[in-house]
Structure 1
Amino acid sequence: MTRHSPDGTLRGSGWRTTWVLLAFMLVNFADKTVLGLAAKPIMDDLGLTREQFGTASAASFALFSVSALAVSYLTRTVRTTVLLLAMALLWAGAQLPMLWTAAGFGTLLATRVLLGAAEGPAMPVATHHLHGWFEQRERTLPTAVLLTGAAAGVAVAAPTLTLVIDHFGWRWAFGSVGLAELVWAAYWALRGAEGPYARRAEEGGAAPETVPYRRILLSGTWISAALGAFAAYWMLSANLTWMPDYLESVTGLSLHQAGLLVTGAALANGVVLVGHGLLTQRRPKPPSGPGTGALMCLAAVAVALFALTDAVWLKVLLMLGPMALANVIMTVAQTACARIAPASQRGVVLGALAFVYALAGALSPWAVGRIADTADSVATGYRAAFLLTSALLGLTGLLALRLLRPERDARCLATSRDRRFS
């Protein structure tokens, strides 16, 4: 792997890194999408109930949060280029065993646990690496582009993997994603490089100034960002796992139609993220609570209406419009938490953020499957699950309205740090 020194091509190099990491996140979310798209054939082939399938999906998050925090701590001493390469190789190693025709529920559980352990640090480490290429005021748009990997991963994976499942079976859906990850890893091994703003603790000889982690993690900005991201990730994880099944079982759409709608919703998420990034890129200060909280509350209303209406056309409009606004908190949470943390502590703070929101990934697939299985009907169960999601978005949106103030908290933390060193 090469080292890159700041020069006249710095901005171009930063954006090239952004696109490569976008591809990294794309295959990361293709990993998550494949299980939801293949839900029916997997359940039929392996004889699983919805609760069992939800357990398999939630298994991806058994070590997700712990791994996110532990590996993010390694960013203080280990190059992010090395960490990202190791993750991609582990992802491939977790997908390819499902090509084995004898691989059943036990193999599915084991490989999802491994996959989750390797995916947990993906977002915080990739964001930390990306922020090493951009100054503070320029980070919002690249971060938004990075996060569109979730939308792009679903948008590309949904139609592609649906075709793979239809023509080659669900096992090759896993295999195709694993092969894509090997290709990315090979490219990164040759071209991956850290940026000039990485600022690891061991470089430069002098110890970097730090703030006690408890002060950062107890700030209003970090708490509201973490809880808001938890709510948004709850919806994302539940939809990735169960939306195709919901659209087929409750609304009566075909697998192909469900795949198209999931793709459209993913594209809407991407448009929202990039649009928000473009609007805030030129602002001298990062986005804060009022606007973000209002968008989350609007998304909460949209999810509630989605749950209660029987009109398929209205469900489609809500999926392609206001429901996507909840994803803005994911960009804002990353940039806000990076804003209040010294550069040497940024990776750990972002890892702690991932630790919290990833808990939603462990809980929501299982919870939605459990609710759907135990309700009087599948439709009634899914309606209750969507209303729960709406409540989470609304409550955390109100919290963000009041507490998400990165500029204020950054000043307070800087003042406390200066007092410690004076």
Structure 2
Amino acid sequence: MTTPAGAVGRLRAGGATAMQERAHKGAWGSTWLLLAFMLVNFADKTVMGLAAGPIRDELGLTRGEFGTAQSSFFALFSLAALGVSFLTRRVRTTVLLLGMALLWSVAQLPMLLGAAGFGTLVATRVLLGAAEGPAAPVAVHHLHGWFGQKERTLPTAVLMVGAAGGVALSAPLLTLVIDAWGWRWAFGVVGLAGLVWAVCWYARGEEGPLAPPPGTADSAGSEGTRPAVPYRGLLLSGTWLTAAFGAFAAYWMLSAGLTWAPDYLHEVSGLTAKQSGAVVTATAVGNAAVLLTHGLLARRASRRGTAPRLPAGLGGGLLMCVASLSIAVFAEVDSVGVKIALMVGPMALTNVILTVSQTAVARITPAGQRGVVLGAMAFVYALAGILSPLVTGRMVDAAASVPTGYHSAYVLMAGLVAVAGVLAVCFLRPERDAARLGMTETAPTGPPAH
């Protein structure tokens, strides 16, 4: 007895639907796990800023020395981001992400020892930075293995929310830990959190259906038959250069805020440690809201099949210009209320470029080369992590007064963000560069957009 053709069709359609549902669950399951990954990642970065006062008091550090300790986190950050990005061509991203989480968790724990001083602090921050440097580019590369090109903006934005969310969640919690048990236990808590994430990832992490198999980096990717594009063409394109500089400017602001915002709010604005922590939390929530709103608007446009009202570079660049004006106003006004409103609102617009730059670079890059190209961009923007805390600390120490030093540092930040915004408006054109590089868009084969 044969099965009627209609029944066979229904069986096949049902099987395809079931596979799409599983792919959809796997895609968003990986997104939430990687969001948690980024939450822990940025909680690690937040510790130093929140514990700045107790650390400086106990270890007898000047602001310049403390800035040096914070900058040591980025000593190998850029090199590790670039080096591990090349490993994505041979090693599965699930393995790389697990290894990074284990390493950065172990790097935190020595600070629990009472004998650990400035030298140990610097050494562990260097190791931590080497482990965390590749985190964002490898996580984005892994995530894009689950989603087709048109569906990537929202999950990428969710991933970037981990930066803001890590600060928002960790600021009040770690402030309580520091108050109750001392600053050393703040390092211990984030180290243990990383170990918990590693266990969850070991149990549930998996590669996406669009992930290029290891060893295919210089041939066709799994998103279609696409030959490799010379790296020189990718890295010298207007899109990559302006995306990297825009991310550099945003990371400058992010690193300065993580390191010095609590100190600024305390020393210049007169807030207590708890009040400063609350403002840092509110700022992080504002950053997260901006990123999610941008991602949801992009997804809505994608589902409607319409282009965004503004090209990615023009929209992201204009938002950075607005943010730069807000930073300049922040530096000039004396009102604490106005400063907080600017931090929570328009200054947060700078972060949109972090999502725009990642998706723009992915748009012009074959899947098999994506990890390397994203890693190269991380190499550039991570340099801001080295320079920003160090330059800000030295500027404050060298100024006639603490408020004067911070004023100069924020004016410098405003100028940097403004230049990045103007460059993005003029040169960040992923669709144009994708066409020039032969990256014609293929039909999406990733999970359905429910």
Contact 2:366 2:439 in 1 (8 A): no
Output the CA distance in 2 between the equivalents of 1:157 and 1:172: 13
Please give the TM-score of this superposition, normalised by the length of structure 1: 0.95
Q: 1:83 corresponds to which letter in structure 2?
A: L
Contact 1:201 1:207 in 2 (8 A): no
1:175-190 to structure 2, matched below 5 A, reads 175-190=188-203
Residue 282 of structure 2 aligns to a residue in which SS? helix
Tell me whether 1:107 sits opposite 2:133 in the alignment. no
What does the per-residue CA deviation read over 1:1-34, in whole Å, with 9 as the maximum and x for residues that have no partner?
xxxx964311121011100000000000000001
User: Structure 1 residues 184 and 102 mapped into 2: Cα distance closer, same or farther (>3 Å)?
Assistant: same
Tell me whether 1:86 sits opposite 2:96 in the alignment. no
Could you tell me which of 343, 353, 358 is aligned with 2:382?
A: 358
What does the per-residue CA deviation read over 1:188-245, in whole Å, with 9 as the maximum and x for residues that have no partner?
1111100000013536997551000010011010011000000000000000000000
Gaps spanning 5+ residues in structure 1: where? 417-422
Could you tell me which of 280, 294, 297 is aligned with 1:276?
A: 294
Contact 2:364 2:439 in 1 (8 A): no
Output the CA distance in 2 between the equivalents of 1:367 and 1:324: 22
Tell me whether 1:295 sits opposite 2:295 in the alignment. no
Q: 2:233 corresponds to which letter in structure 1?
A: R
1:228-239 to structure 2, matched below 5 A, reads 228-239=246-257
User: Structure 1 residues 206 and 324 mapped into 2: Cα distance closer, same or farther (>3 Å)?
Assistant: closer
1:63-142 to structure 2, matched below 5 A, reads 63-142=76-155
Output the CA distance in 2 between the equivalents of 1:237 and 1:27: 16
1:16-415 to structure 2, matched below 5 A, reads 16-202=29-215, 208=221, 209-284=227-302, 288-414=312-438
Output the CA distance in 2 between the equivalents of 1:205 and 1:387: 44
User: Structure 1 residues 380 and 405 mapped into 2: Cα distance closer, same or farther (>3 Å)?
Assistant: same
Output the CA distance in 2 between the equivalents of 1:91 and 1:415: 36
Output the CA distance in 2 between the equivalents of 1:34 and 1:299: 26
What does the per-residue CA deviation read over 1:66-86, in whole Å, with 9 as the maximum and x for residues that have no partner?
100100111011000000000
Residue 361 of structure 1 aligns to a residue in which SS? helix
Determine which structure has more spread, i.e. the larger CA radius of gyration: 2
The aligned counterpart of 1:419 is none
Q: 1:186 corresponds to which letter in structure 2?
A: V
What does the per-residue CA deviation read over 1:251-302, in whole Å, with 9 as the maximum and x for residues that have no partner?
0000000000000000000000000000111334575211111000000000
What does the per-residue CA deviation read over 1:328-364, in whole Å, with 9 as the maximum and x for residues that have no partner?
0000000000000000000001001100000000100
Contact 2:78 2:382 in 1 (8 A): yes
The aligned counterpart of 2:8 is none
Q: 1:151 corresponds to which letter in structure 2?
A: A
Residue 338 of structure 1 aligns to a residue in which SS? helix
Contact 2:89 2:217 in 1 (8 A): no
Please give the TM-score of this superposition, normalised by the length of structure 2: 0.90
Output the CA distance in 1 between the equivalents of 2:282 and 2:320: 20
What does the per-residue CA deviation read over 1:76-117, in whole Å, with 9 as the maximum and x for residues that have no partner?
110000000000001111100000000000000000000000
User: Structure 1 residues 407 and 179 mapped into 2: Cα distance closer, same or farther (>3 Å)?
Assistant: same
Q: What RMSD over aligned residues (CA atoms) do the two structures have, in Å? A: 1.6
Output the CA distance in 2 between the equivalents of 1:50 and 1:205: 47
Residue 91 of structure 2 aligns to a residue in which SS? coil
Gaps spanning 5+ residues in structure 2: where? 1-17, 222-226, 441-450
Residue 269 of structure 2 aligns to a residue in which SS? coil
Q: 1:196 corresponds to which letter in structure 2?
A: P
How many residues were matched structurally?
412
